[in-house]
Amino acid sequence: MPGTGLWRTKSVEQSILDTDEPDTKLRKNLGTWDLIVFGVSVVIGAGIFTLAARTAGDVSGPSVSLAFVLSAIACGLAALCYAEFASTVPVAGSAYTYSYATFGEFIAWIIGWDLILEFAVAAAAVSKGWSVYLEEVLKLIGLSVPTSLPLGPLQFDWGALLLVVVLSTLLAVGTKLSARVSLVITIIKVAVVLLVIVVGLAYINADNYTPFIPPAEQATEDSPAIEQSLLSLMLGGQTSTYGMFGLLAGASLVFFAFIGFDIVATTAEETKNPQKNAPRGILGSLAIVTVLYVAVALVVTGMVPYTDLATTEDGTRATLATAFAQHGVTWAAAIISVGALAGLTTVVMVLLLGQTRVLFAMSRDGLMPKGLAKTSTAGTPMRATVLVGVVVVLAAAFFPADKLEEMVNVGTLFAFILVSLGVIVLRRTRPDLPRGFRAPLVPFVPILAILACLWLMLNLTALTWVRFLVWMIAGVVIYFLYGRSHSRLGKEGDVANGGSVTS
């Protein structure tokens, strides 16, 4: 057990050995196609129908397509690092497990706590979006039924609750079944996206792409400095709306649309041949969604002037349907609503899957209650799945989703940085490990990934940074109150030093 106390590391060999324990053993039944489906299904959600239009109108203008490319480059660099780790350490937990093997227990806890922020908060936020689209689809079939109802001082979102309960049950039954359901729904939503792109091409006016990067908007008294991007604030910019700072801020915002490909790495332990399948699943899903995102961004900004996509004074936000409505293509709104509903279904499913696997890995190591790592006869962590489902149900059913996107972004980017740094560290400390996939040009590529992710983080608002720091401080407190004293690795070290331990 190298290191002591906060910096004790769990060897790769021990992590892999733990996957064979009968009570916490996951079933290996996923192939390359299953992983690509999981990746595409979680990445392509409502963001492709809403985020491109909203970011173009409020932040970047027509250059939103370039913002998607910049985000994709940062994700691609990080994906290469994830692919190496997933093929080298095919264990549930993703960045948490990788950090345990390279940086030590304390950093592993921090990144595990960070992933809880990414997956659980994202699942709650996206499920509320699903509920909104459910209401729209019900209207299309003549049922005017609100999915959110007042309950005292709170709003009870029964639509979000219904979705999380059904998907949690599906995940508890089996991962392979979840993959099959994801495949069917993913085919539907990709077909909708392709249809939107093809139809939209006929309405593109090249004049709408000019100016590609609109001049920066002047700051007003209603624009508090803390809601600027941190980079703009540091460099003395007055605003991060349009202009170069707007393009960079847009890249940080649309990064939310790419979140999820890293969840493929959390399923490495359930993959038949992780050395080959995991890298193909991670890189393949990222390549597919990048092409679709850039195409949608080009279509929506080519159909109407970017100023027509700006959020209105009453708070109404533009979507892809807004562009079609201006051209009288009203049926497109119905198609987009159905596609978004299908898209969000699989997004929430895979976010729940990722959260459950991270919690499962932390519990198996004793940093969370050990009972959560026990698997059912179906080979799934039933207790962890139920707990995650309950927490996400409460958050989605009773709490508003405002400002959650940026919180998820900062947490994910932080995880990407540690994974990229971990590749460099593990190459130096364990050059002997068999690697089914090797990231090219190490340490150059991981360093580029770190710089790209840091750059995106700096383009998030200062207020988001404050919230992130508060969340991480809470995680540190919990670690010292519970995780450190219950650590399985720590207890094994005590036994090795002559102490005693009970399970």
Q: What pLDDT was estimated at residue 496? A: 47
Separation between Cα atoms, residue 297 and residue 254, nearest integer Å:
11
Query: Is residue 27 situated within a structural domain?
Result: yes
Tokens 């978004």 identify what position? Answer: 340
497 pLDDT tier (thresholds 50, 70, 90) = very low
Helix (H) or strand (E) holding 155: strand 154-157
Let me know: does 90 contact 278? Beta carbons within 8 Å.
yes
pLDDT in tens, 216-247: 776 555 555 555 555 556 665 555 577 777 78
Q: What pLDDT was estimated at residue 182? A: 72
Q: What pLDDT was estimated at residue 493? A: 62
498 pLDDT tier (thresholds 50, 70, 90) = very low
Separation between Cα atoms, residue 424 and residue 258, nearest integer Å:
24
2 pLDDT tier (thresholds 50, 70, 90) = low
CA 184 to chain centre: 21
Let me know: does 127 contact 348? Beta carbons within 8 Å.
yes
Query: Is residue 501 situated within a structural domain?
Result: no
Q: What pLDDT was estimated at residue 207? A: 93
**Mean pLDDT of all residues in the chain?**
80
Separation between Cα atoms, residue 331 and residue 195, nearest integer Å:
12
Residue 398 has pLDDT above 60, yes or no: yes
Residue 3 has pLDDT above 70, yes or no: no
Q: What pLDDT was estimated at residue 495? A: 47
Residue 78 has pLDDT above 60, yes or no: yes
Query: Is residue 130 situated within a structural domain?
Result: yes
Let me know: does 103 contact 284? Beta carbons within 8 Å.
no
Query: Is residue 439 situated within a structural domain?
Result: yes
CB neighbours (10 Å) of residue 222?
5
Query: Is residue 106 situated within a structural domain?
Result: yes
Q: How many domains does the chain have?
A: 1
pTM: 0.76
Separation between Cα atoms, residue 491 and residue 503, nearest integer Å:
9
Separation between Cα atoms, residue 105 and residue 111, nearest integer Å:
10
Query: Is residue 138 situated within a structural domain?
Result: yes
Cα end-to-end span (Å), the chain: 19
Query: Is residue 503 situated within a structural domain?
Result: no
Q: 3-state class of 157 per DSSP?
A: strand
Task: Tell me the range of 62-66, 314-318, 390-394 where mean pLDDT is highest.
Answer: 62-66
Separation between Cα atoms, residue 14 and residue 20, nearest integer Å:
10
Tokens 């003549």 identify what position? Answer: 142
291 pLDDT tier (thresholds 50, 70, 90) = very high
Rounded to the nearest 10 degrees, how much is the dihedral formed by the CA atoms of 465, 471, 474, 476?
A: -70
Query: Is residue 189 situated within a structural domain?
Result: yes
Q: What pLDDT was estimated at residue 208? A: 93
Residue 494 has pLDDT above 70, yes or no: no
Separation between Cα atoms, residue 73 and residue 65, nearest integer Å:
13
pLDDT in tens, 137-189: 888 788 888 888 877 777 788 888 899 999 888 888 766 666 677 778 888 88
Separation between Cα atoms, residue 398 and residue 180, nearest integer Å:
31
Instruction: List the structure tokens of 218.
Output: 């002047």
pLDDT in tens, 456-478: 788 777 777 888 888 889 989 99
Task: Tell me the range of 65-69, 151-155, 349-353 where mean pLDDT is highest.
Answer: 65-69
Let me know: does 59 contact 53? Beta carbons within 8 Å.
no
Q: What pLDDT was estimated at residue 415? A: 83
Q: Could you tell me which residues come within 8 angstroms of residue 198 by beta carbon, excluding any fewer than 6 positions away? A: none
CATH number of the domain at 333, please.
1.20.1740.10
Q: What average pLDDT does this structure show over 28-51?
A: 76
Q: What pLDDT was estimated at residue 503? A: 36
Q: What pLDDT was estimated at residue 502? A: 38
Instruction: List the structure tokens of 333.
Output: 């709104």
CA 490 to chain centre: 31
Domain that holds residue 170: 5-496
Beta bridge partners of 149: 156
Q: What pLDDT was estimated at residue 238? A: 53
CA separation (Å) from 305 to 207, 208, 296, 297? 8, 5, 15, 13
